[in-house]
Amino acid sequence: MCSSDLLLSAETMLMVKEHFIETYGSPVYTIGSGGSGGSMQQHQIAANYPGLLDGIIPNRSFPDIISTIDVLTDCELIDHYFKTTAVAWTEAQKSAAAGVKGSAYCANGARYPNLHATNCNAAVSKDAVYDPTKNRGGARCTYQDNMVNVYGRDPKTGFARRPFDNVGVQYGLAALNAGTIAFDQFLDLNTRIGGLDIDGNPTAERMVGDLEALRTAYRSGRINTGATLAGVPIIDFRSYLEDRKSTRLNSSH
């Protein structure tokens, strides 16, 4: 999707605007509008390609896809932990540790194609999809493989360099400090949270981001710091979603 490949999104927008100008003349203003993935596209186009958008109206706002995948990855790891731990947790404790309104959010909403090499869109033939044993040269449907032209390939694996990392993250720290969870729960969670391997499968070890990919993510504007958005008119439209069971509240760390 274009919110994953924000370079493609910006190029598409550039070409559409060029066609409009050639057909109808220069517009007085070009305003972006959209939610969720649409908000990512607006934020990054306005931040990285000045002049394409004169103002933006994002809603259900996310700054960029990397920040969003970080949240989804954490959520998936926490859900896997809850399904495998022998330590007892109440629903309220699970929700507090994960930083969500209900732990069902992580159980139902965390598995996105951006995380897993084999979780491809149905438009991709199953025979064409990567398989670790049968088809190692097949299509890999992760964020970084979709953006391999930006991040490059790890010479050791041949796969795209991955910028995601959870080393040192203290999961459930806010819940611990609030007294919602006990220290033994906090300790077990952070001891056993693990990470995802390059194919998106759970591992006992935490993920270590590729340093070159991390440098590229910041240098190329894939991570939106907001510094280059100064002077861009923004109306951040906040959809009312507090009645939704899956609404995400705040970060847990």
Per-residue pLDDT band for 96 (boundaries 50, 70, 90) equals very high
Instruction: Give pLDDT, residue 88.
Output: 97
The answer to whether 191 and 170 have CB atoms below 8 angstroms apart is no
What percentage of the chain carries pLDDT values higher than 90? 68
Q: Is the pLDDT of residue 238 over 90?
A: no
Its pTM surpasses 0.85: no
What percentage of the chain carries pLDDT values higher than 70? 91
> What DSSP letter does each residue of 99-138 carry, written as one string?
TBS-THHHHHH---GGG-TT---TTS-GGGB-BTTTBTTS
Burial of 242 (C-beta count, 10 Å sphere; 0-12/13-18/19+): exposed
The answer to whether 124 and 116 have CB atoms below 8 angstroms apart is no
Q: Is the pLDDT of residue 252 over 50?
A: no
Per-residue pLDDT band for 244 (boundaries 50, 70, 90) equals low
Instruction: Tell me which of 238 and 210 has the higher pLDDT.
Output: 210
Instruction: Give pLDDT, residue 110.
Output: 52
